[in-house]
A and B are shown apart, each in its own frame.
Chain A
Amino acid sequence: DARVTQTPRHKVTEMGQEVTMRCQPILGHNTVFWYRQTMMQGLELLAYFRNRAPLDDSGMPKDRFSAEMPDATLATLKIQPSEPRDSAVYFCASGLVLGRDTEAFFGQGTRLTVV
């Protein structure tokens, strides 16, 4: 049963600490998305990659957030330094985007709490 795997599922950290969230996309998918979900803003696109190359990271605060795909089986989202306003659920999704069809499969999310 192919699925997107995110680790950790929960993370509590102190303000100022570095946070790294990891995502294993579904094997064979060529596109990885990072979304953030909060009560106030809903689901926001942070960044996405096609064939491991970043295509759009305009939704990401550049001064503290970074996203990478070291290889086809791993995507990472880092926050350094973390702030209380970063508290949210972070979702990774992957998809096989061919032409215009964009069907995304979501992981279970990482619930981040910054105190």
Chain B
Amino acid sequence: AQSVTQLGSHVSVSEGALVLLRCNYSSSVPPYLFWYVQYPNQGLQLLLKYTTGATLVKGINGFEAEFKKSETSFHLTKPSAHMSDAAEYFCAVTFMDTGRRALTFGSGTRLQVQP
């Protein structure tokens, strides 16, 4: 069955520390992959996406993610966390083996950044 899983509903890091948010998918065909961020009482903003080509994708605000087909993963990283990174992060997928072209979202990971 097709699915997208985010491991860890809450992640807490210290300011300046590495941020790692995990996302795995289940699909027989590599999907298109996205990371979105949601600040309180706001809509979702696209951080980055992978469709084809280079598997390491750089996005806004210093975030990047690497598509690993063998691990069916698309983890989000940032070398040094800032207080302003505190938000909820969603991994999203467009599954290619169906005709559906809508995003399927993971359950989200709330990132806390401690001073």
Contact indicator A91/B44 (Cβ below 8 Å): yes
| Cα distance A107–B45 in the bound complex, in angstroms | 9
Q: Taking beta carbons and an 8 Å cutoff, which residues of B are in contact with A?
A: 32, 34, 36, 41-46, 49, 51, 90, 94, 96, 100-108
Quick check: is A104 within 8 A (CB to CB) of the other chain?
yes
Q: Which residue of B lies closest to A97 (CB)?
A: B101
Contact indicator A106/B43 (Cβ below 8 Å): yes
| Cα distance A50–B94 in the bound complex, in angstroms | 16
Contact indicator A109/B90 (Cβ below 8 Å): no
Minimum distance in angstroms from A42 CB to a CB of chain B? 5
Contact indicator B44/A106 (Cβ below 8 Å): yes
Q: State whether A102 and B96 are in contact (beta carbons under 8 Å apart), knowing that A42-B108, A91-B44 are contacts in the complex.
A: no
Contact indicator A108/B42 (Cβ below 8 Å): yes
11 residue pairs A–B, Cβ–Cβ below 8 Å: A33-B102, A33-B103, A35-B105, A43-B108, A48-B101, A55-B101, A91-B44, A102-B102, A103-B34, A104-B46, A107-B43
5 further A-B pairs in the complex, CB-CB below 8 A; given A33-B102, A104-B46? A31-B101, A55-B101, A100-B96, A102-B32, A108-B43
| Cα distance A11–B108 in the bound complex, in angstroms | 25
Contact indicator A100/B101 (Cβ below 8 Å): yes
Q: Is the interface of A mostly helix, strand, loop or mixed?
A: strand
| Cα distance A30–B10 in the bound complex, in angstroms | 35
Quick check: is A105 within 8 A (CB to CB) of the other chain?
yes
Quick check: is A45 within 8 A (CB to CB) of the other chain?
yes
A-B contact count (CB 8 A): 55
Over the window 1-18 of chain A, the binary record of Cβ atoms lying under 8 Å from chain B Cβ atoms (1 yes, 0 no) is 000100000000000000
A35, A104, A105 — which one has the most chain B CB atoms within 10 A of its CB?
A104
Residues of chain B contacted by A42 (CB below 8 angstroms): 105-108
Residues of chain B contacted by A97 (CB below 8 angstroms): 101
| Cα distance A97–B100 in the bound complex, in angstroms | 11
Residues of chain B contacted by A101 (CB below 8 angstroms): 32, 51
| Cα distance A45–B92 in the bound complex, in angstroms | 12
Q: State whether A100 and B51 are in contact (beta carbons under 8 Å apart), knowing that A33-B103, A42-B105, A42-B107 are contacts in the complex.
A: yes
Contact indicator B102/A48 (Cβ below 8 Å): yes
| Cα distance A107–B43 in the bound complex, in angstroms | 6
